[in-house]
């Protein structure tokens, strides 16, 4: 049997197998299927979806944290009116004052309550500064430490006697 | 929408002769879906076979082919006609098919263990025994092809698809034409060597 003949047979076998592997023409209605899907919105890439999900989780976590530490407190309507002086015209004192928004104005609660308010709101809508006496802090006095130097007593070691009998 | 005229005969055959790809692309860019449909019809076999060469499964190849055409339609404005429309299309198909191949975690196991597709209809003169022997041999060859490294297997299958020239496949794979030819030749040499070691070719 010639080498050439065997080579040809193997080539034919390979070609036949390859034709089976990539021999199809695809579905005959490919055109219809594609045209039917032309108006579909493009699929989002998986990475983009993951990024969006991560961003959403972060936003939710931030909202929870802010909600816990910065809880809104209702403010009386009088104060709310004072915050909007344009709502009460100055040249018509007899006219009843009607706030623009009936809902109370809310302020976030400060994170750490301050013992001395920085400003006081008055009914006139003006804010008067409060004078705060400067704090004087006395310097701390710490007791002085005195450490006595260590003294080591000289040790006396007796020399071993040679005449002692050995233990069994 | 600009209508596509098919002057004589069946739409596909008439348009193949009279309307070039470039003309159909120009019409599709203007929103002519019928023109794009004609492009799909012209190149569906090439795109499907390229996808099949990469993913190795008919159903996956169908999905890739459809996704390729949809992506091409949406990216039509970016086609610069530096290569032929077919080559551009095949490049999209190949990239998508490779991405799918990477995504399929169990692809390797499936490729190795999957039953081969049904063999082509045998000639009437052949006996059933002969058909079975050839089917068995084809099964062996396919297993050996799948066991080749991707850098040899992909060019071999793309060339076997018979829809593209070496030049087009070299562009799709992003390798020089000489390299492509060497890889195809090397793939065939290895296959023949292994088949001969199994005792094929001596009958």
ipTM score of complex = 0.70
**What's the pLDDT score for residue A1?**
53
What is residue B83's predicted lDDT score, i.e. its pLDDT?
84
Q: Which residue of A has its CA nearest to B53?
A: A22
Share of chain B above pLDDT 70, in %: 79
Categorize the per-residue pLDDT at B169 as very low, low, confident or very high, splitting at 50, 70 and 90: very high
Higher pLDDT residue, B81 or A115? B81
B160, B172, B197, best to mutate vs chain A, most A CBs in 10 Å? B160
Better pLDDT: A159 or B34: B34
Residue B69 contacts A, CB cutoff 8 Å: yes
For residue B142, the distance in angstroms to the closest alpha carbon of chain A comes to: 6
pLDDT digit string (tens) for B73-120? 998 888 888 888 999 999 999 999 988 888 774 555 554 555 555 555
> CA-CA distance, B176 to B151, in Å (whole number)?
13
Q: State the pLDDT at residue B38.
A: 93
Closest chain B residue to A15 measured between Cα atoms? B160
- CA–CA dist B118, B63 (Å, integer): 20
Q: Is B161 exposed, middle or buried (0-12, 13-18, 19+ CB in 10 A)?
A: buried
Quote the DSSP letter at residue B87: H
Are residues B36 and A35, on separate chains, in Cβ contact within 8 Å? yes
Q: Hey, what long-range contacts does B78-84 have (CB within 8 A, 24 or more apart)?
A: B79/B25, B81/B22, B81/B25, B83/B171, B84/B21, B84/B168
Angle at B8 between CA B6 and CA B9, to 5 degrees: 100
pLDDT band at A92 (very low <50, low <70, confident <90, very high): very low
In this complex, the residue of A1, A18, A31 whose CB is nearest that of residue B160 is: A18
- Using the 8-state DSSP alphabet, how is residue B154 labeled? H
Interface test with A, best of B138, B147, B154 (most A CBs within 10 A): B138
DSSP assignment of B94-151, as one string?
A: HHHHHHHHHH-TTHHHHHHHSPPPPPPPPPTTS-HHHHHHHHHHHHHHHHHHHHS-HH
pLDDT tier at A71 (50, 70, 90 boundaries)?
A: low
Name the pLDDT band for A124 (thresholds 50, 70, 90).
Answer: low
Partners of B188 on chain A (C-beta within 8 Å) are 11, 14
pTM greater than the 0.80 cutoff: no
Q: How far apart are CA B109 and CA B57, in angstroms?
A: 12
């Amino acid at each position: 049997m010639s080498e050439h003949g065997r080579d040809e047979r193997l080539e034919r076998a390979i070609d036949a197998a390859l034709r089976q592997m990539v021999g199809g023409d695809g579905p005959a209605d490919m055109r219809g299927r594609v045209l039917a899907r032309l108006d579909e919105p493009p699929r989002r890439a998986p990475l983009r979806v993951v990024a969006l999900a991560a961003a959403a989780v972060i936003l939710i976590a931030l909202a929870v944290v802010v909600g816990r530490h910065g809880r809104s407190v209702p403010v009386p309507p009088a104060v709310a009116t004072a915050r909007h002086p344009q709502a009460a015209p100055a040249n018509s004192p007899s006219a009843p004052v009607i706030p623009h928004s009936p809902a109370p104005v809310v302020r976030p609660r400060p994170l750490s309550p301050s013992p001395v308010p920085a400003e006081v709101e008055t009914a006139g809508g003006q804010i008067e500064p409060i004078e705060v006496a400067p704090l004087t802090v006395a310097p701390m006095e710490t007791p002085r430490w005195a450490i006595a130097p260590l003294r080591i007593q000289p040790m006396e070691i007796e020399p071993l006697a040679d005449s002692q009998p050995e233990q069994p | 929408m600009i209508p596509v005229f098919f002057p004589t005969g069946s739409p596909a055959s008439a348009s193949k002769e009279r309307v070039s790809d470039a003309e159909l692309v120009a019409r599709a860019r203007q929103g002519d879906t019928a023109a794009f449909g004609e492009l799909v019809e012209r190149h569906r076999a090439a795109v499907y076979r390229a996808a099949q060469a990469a993913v190795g499964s008919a159903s996956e190849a169908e999905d890739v082919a459809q996704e390729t055409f949809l992506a091409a339609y949406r990216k039509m404005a970016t086609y610069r006609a530096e290569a032929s429309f077919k080559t551009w299309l095949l490049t999209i198909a190949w990239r998508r098919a490779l991405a799918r191949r990477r995504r399929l975690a169990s692809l390797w196991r499936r490729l190795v263990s999957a039953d081969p597709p049904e063999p082509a209809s045998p000639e009437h003169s052949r006996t059933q025994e002969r058909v079975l022997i050839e089917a068995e041999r084809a099964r062996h060859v396919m297993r050996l092809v799948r066991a080749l490294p991707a850098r040899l297997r992909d060019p071999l299958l793309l060339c076997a698809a018979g829809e593209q020239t070496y030049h087009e496949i070299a562009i799709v794979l992003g390798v020089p034409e000489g390299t492509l030819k060497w890889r195809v030749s090397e793939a065939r040499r290895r296959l023949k060597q292994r088949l001969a070691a199994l005792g094929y070719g001596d009958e």
